[in-house]
Amino acid sequence: MPEHTAVADFAALLRELKDRSGLSYGVLAKRLHMSTSTLHRYCNGDAVPADYAPVERLARLCKAHPEELVELHRRWVLADAVRGRKGAAAAETSPEEAGSGTGPGQAASEAAPPAEAASAGAPPAAPADADTGVGTAPTRRRTRTAVLAGIAVAAVAAGVAFAVGLPGGGSDGDGDGGRHRPVGAAGVTAEGTAPASSSPPSSAAASPSSPAKDTGPARTPAGSAPAGAPSGEGQKSGVPVTVRAEPYAWESPCSQRYLADKPANEMKPPPLEEGAAAWVAAHGAVSSGQQYLRLTVQGTGPETVVVDGLTVRVAGKRAPLAWNDYAMAYPGVGCGGGVQTRAFAVSLDSARPSLTPEPGNEDFPFKVSESDPEVYYLTASVSAYDVDWYLELKWSSGDRSGTLTVDDEGRPFRTSGNKGRPAYEFPIGGDGWVPEGTTKLE
């Protein structure tokens, strides 16, 4: 799909929803907590939001239908991919192209100290011509181009929602506890590999007595060949599909609750959906009663990839957490929402939890490609346990097949029952949490 078409199609659907709502740009921008000019740029195709959360809130404010929400997410994925490719293309500009002419970029490079060029291994600058003063321009231009390339590569790497490794198995490598990895990082299983000796997935908060789980197949990095494969087969064994998991998505605020081992007077007010992950991390909270996941599955190339199914794997079960239960909805605020297409449910209380399609929804398999992603919505419910769990996505493409492990940044998802736990709500205009049901609505 041409780049301009992907962005234009995304913007066109945004405008259609906005126009149909009858609300002005100013009113919508205020409700979305953004500037009017920013909303204009989104709807005109001059910019693509870096996150999907504000797009979904806009769509829901405009009363979008479930089918429109799915289509909007699909178009945003494609437009966002175009935005990423443009950033990478800028980094590929040659030194000659980057250094043609003079301008603000050249002036900025001139401010860099000579030590930077020396540390990068650049050759000594030629003496400047007495008349033109351009003798040092090639060195400056090369330094500037290298800096731009490094920035662009870092930006692309920061947005990748595909990582390698078992969920929670082993260290994060850089010792940062996974803070810099995207939510929903996915591990890769290469079929036909030898059994691994690594430990099974486990939550950092799980008790030492949590039941063990059989180890799975060894993980092979995307794009590399499985053990024992002939040389030259690495490219062929590359995984042709990516998965982005959003474990703190909300079907609606009214359905979302979190358990936290903190008293009400130490809890911050309920966040907006896009701030849920940070709110959960700040309070050490756990999804309460149910967890709503949004999975975006997209091919990495033009070939068709078949998503054969999603399997729920339980890494551990314990008694429900004896923590306080906090509702994200403000009392008296109406809640929308509805069953999405590609929606599935699973009961984590079951001995062998498995996904079942919501009424009116199709079951696996589905097909995806780079230009035709799929979005799956999963509602995992639990009442009798505190459960660590993750997903395995099976895919096939031609003569290749494999499994992706989908989790929460290398850790299992965690969902706990909340029956009988003290429940709290946050009144509109209030300054703190109060016991649920005590708020008087006028």
pLDDT digits (tens, 9 = 90+) for 273-284: 889 999 999 999
pLDDT digits 0-9 by tens, 413-436 = 999 999 999 999 998 878 899 999
Helix (H), strand (E) at residue 288: strand 286-288
Domain boundary among 69, 91, 113: 91
- 196 and 76 share one domain: no
Kindly report the number of other CB atoms within 10 A of residue 348's CB atom: 24
- 199 and 83 share one domain: no
pLDDT digits 0-9 by tens, 375-399 = 999 999 999 999 999 999 999 999 9
Select the more confidently predicted residue: 199 or 293: 293
- 357 and 249 share one domain: yes
- 69 and 192 share one domain: no
Q: Is residue 9 part of a domain?
A: yes
- What 3-state DSSP class applies to 258? strand
Domain boundary among 74, 91, 108: 91
- 87 and 191 share one domain: no
pLDDT score recorded for residue 111: 37
pLDDT digits 0-9 by tens, 325-379 = 999 876 655 555 454 679 999 999 999 999 999 988 999 999 999 999 999 999 9
- Average pLDDT value over all residues in the chain: 72
State the pLDDT confidence band at 31, using cuts at 50, 70 and 90: confident
Q: Is residue 111 part of a domain?
A: no
pLDDT score recorded for residue 158: 42
- 193 and 64 share one domain: no
Kindly report the number of other CB atoms within 10 A of residue 232's CB atom: 8
pLDDT digits 0-9 by tens, 76-105 = 999 888 876 665 555 444 443 444 433 333
Which range marks the domain in which residue 360 is found? 186-205+213-226+235-435
Task: Give the count of domains, the chain.
Answer: 2
pLDDT digits 0-9 by tens, 283-333 = 999 999 999 999 999 999 999 999 999 999 999 999 999 999 999 876 655
Look at residue 18 and tell me whether its pLDDT is greater than 50. Answer: yes
- 286 and 417 share one domain: yes
pLDDT score recorded for residue 333: 52
- 86 and 196 share one domain: no
Parallel, antiparallel, or unpaired: how do β-strands 434-435 and 423-425 relate? antiparallel
Domain boundary among 91, 124, 140: 91
Contacts of 19 (CB under 8 A, 6+ apart): none
The Cα–Cα gap between 440 and 438 comes to 6
Q: Is residue 125 part of a domain?
A: no
Select the more confidently predicted residue: 42 or 183: 42
Domain CATH code at residue 30: 1.10.260.40
Q: Is residue 221 part of a domain?
A: yes
Q: Is residue 141 part of a domain?
A: no
- 53 and 197 share one domain: no
pLDDT digits 0-9 by tens, 200-228 = 443 333 333 333 333 333 333 333 333 33
Look at residue 230 and tell me whether its pLDDT is greater than 80. Answer: no
Contacts of 55 (CB under 8 A, 6+ apart): 14, 42, 49, 72, 73, 76
- 85 and 222 share one domain: no
Instruction: Name which of 267, 302, 305 is nearest 285 in CA terms.
Output: 267
Kindly report the number of other CB atoms within 10 A of residue 423's CB atom: 16
Q: Is residue 164 part of a domain?
A: no
pLDDT (mean) for 163-174: 36
Structure-block tokens of residue 183: 């939510």
pLDDT score recorded for residue 437: 82
